[in-house]
Structure 1
Amino acid sequence: MEPVEPRTSWTFVTQHARILAMILGDPEIRLRDLAENCQLTERAAQAIVTDLETAGYLTRVRHGRRNHYEVTPGTLFRHPAEGNHEIADLLKLLVDLDQPAEATPRPTADGDHRKHREG
């Protein structure tokens, strides 16, 4: 039997969520780096940042030649199915995925966060 090709090239995480998580991880990240990490053009990354800013998910302040971004606390998912949940948990998960495994705190049975160690 031949391998089945996917119908489309979709992902579970949108580019908007990726960019917002990267900004949370580095509030002074350059637009060029956002675009490169998401495999987008700078123009597409700029459009996403503008979408997020317009919708109130982040603010942008100019510091000299750089932008400083701040993710707005307490913002909710846009879709009604998740609309009563804050996006903070998803963003934290995405930011943690970018951290090395040894530095990622893992909750223990009692909810305590301790560094996960391999071995």
Structure 2
Amino acid sequence: MADWTFLTHHAHVLLEVAKNADATVQEIAAGVAISTRSAVSILNDLEAAGYLERERRGRRNHYVLHPEQPMRHPSNATHAVDELIQALSDLR
């Protein structure tokens, strides 16, 4: 098995949030097979870039995705993140 993948951890975290907007950081990290610390860092990146927002609901976070945001790489910028989510998620 190769030691690289086609999608970054950022994409995998986004897909985990799309599956369950109420997932805990630990659940997101487990779903991506990364550390909790890495998941927090990636969630911070995604929030800072405008791909998601965190809303506090009691003691937990609820994530609101902004699927209309464009992909970040210039060669994909004409595509929205929602296209990635729809193509690769089990939400259909």
TM-score by length of 2: 0.92
Contact 2:54–2:64 (CA<8 Å) still a contact in 1? yes
1:1-119 to 2 correspondence within 5 Å?
6=2, 9-96=3-90
> Where do 5+ consecutive residues of structure 2 fail to align?
none
Residue by residue over 1:38-62, the C-alpha shift from the partner in whole angstroms, topping out at 9 and shown as x without a partner, is 1111000000000000000000010
- Structure showing greater radius of gyration is 1
Compare the two structures and name the one with the higher helix fraction.
2
> Where do 5+ consecutive residues of structure 1 fail to align?
105-119
Residue by residue over 1:47-99, the C-alpha shift from the partner in whole angstroms, topping out at 9 and shown as x without a partner, is 00000000000000100011000111310010100111111011122222xx6
Report the secondary structure of 1:40's partner residue: coil
Q: How many equivalent residue pairs?
A: 92
Contact 1:21–1:92 (CA<8 Å) still a contact in 2? no
List structure 1 segments (4+ residues) > 6 angstroms apart after TM superposition: none
Report the secondary structure of 1:68's partner residue: strand
TM-score by length of 1: 0.72
Report the secondary structure of 2:10's partner residue: helix
Identity of aligned residues (%): 37
Contact 1:74–1:88 (CA<8 Å) still a contact in 2? yes
